Amino acid sequence: MNQPRPALSRNLIGVLSLCLGVFVFSMQDAILKGLSGSHAVTLAIVLRSIVGLPILFAMVWYERGPSALRTRNWKLLVARGLILLTSYTTYYMAFPVLPLAEAVALFFTSPIFVTILAALFLREKVTLKAWAAVIAGFIGVLIILRPGSELFEPAALLSLISAAAYALSMILARRYSADEPTTVMAFYVNAVYLVAAAGIAMVFHLMGITHAAHPSLEFLVRPWDMPNATDLALMGLCGVIAALGMALLTHAYRLARANLVTVFEYTGMLWVPLWGFLFFQEVPRWTTVIGTLIIIAAGIFAVRNAKA
């Protein structure tokens, strides 16, 4: 008979799975930033979803069987998919303008937004320590944003919108979808990505909107064109990355304590500056480094002290 793994072993495997999943997802960020100057973000989302959906369907089949997709919560899952599409799109719209490390650092305010939204919508009691972490986190944001200076870039607000939308999707999952398998939720999200992103591109086409002055908006409204073989392969690879990364993160949270593995999601900040330097010759500003450290510390503290 197979003996159950000791708690220490389960936690260790969970942490390693999460770190690997975060590493895999970080490669998707580098790919999308590289594509942001020549293709539309909606095209990348659609092709990613076309590749990812069969993989996710196979995962649902293996875990629960295809009947799991016939759920009473489908309206909620579609709504959550639209919120995540907003998060996903605004996140990548920041890439044409912001250094990779800065865009991702601002997105890592999502645990801080989760703390705020949990208090507002779930009526969770938040400790004074957690509120102090929220304030500290936004101080880190201000250090990165540098509002009022000539270095302020409005596109940075897109990363904050993305973090807030992502936090809202997590609140919905916590409040209404505890009985849904993660693979089913991921399948619905990617199906919404496919349909809604194609619909958004069609609306822009019918309205004759093909160009914008700001690079972030240009990334959104740019007409679709046929990618070359390399770009097509990279967009498809994003679908594989999304499915693999989701499987690793799901495995991590099933094996280990959530309040333990959540902290290791910040290991993404180890890889992002590396990709930015290797592929885009980006060196983070000192304000970005300091602000990022404050945001990470505040996020960890908020997670650990969210409930009384």
Which tens digits make up the pLDDT trace of 48-77? 999 999 999 998 998 888 888 988 888 888
**Residue 119 included in any domain:** yes
Q: Based on the structure, what is the number of domains in the chain?
A: 1
In a domain, 2, yes or no: no
Whether residue 192 lies inside any domain: the answer is yes
Per-residue pLDDT of 229-238, as tens digits, reads 999 999 999 9
Radius of gyration of the chain (CA): 19
Q: Please indicate whether residue 176 or residue 229 has the higher confidence score (pLDDT).
A: 229
6 in a domain, yes or no? no
- Residue 260 exposed, middle or buried by CB count within 10 Å (0-12, 13-18, 19+): middle
Q: Residue 24: inside a domain, yes or no?
A: yes
Q: Tell me which residue range forms the domain holding 130.
A: 14-304
pTM attached to this predicted model: 0.86
User: 3 lies in a domain?
Assistant: no
Q: Does residue 87 lie within any of the structural domains? A: yes
The answer to whether the beta carbons of residues 11 and 255 sit under 8 Å apart is yes
Residue 7 lies in a domain: no
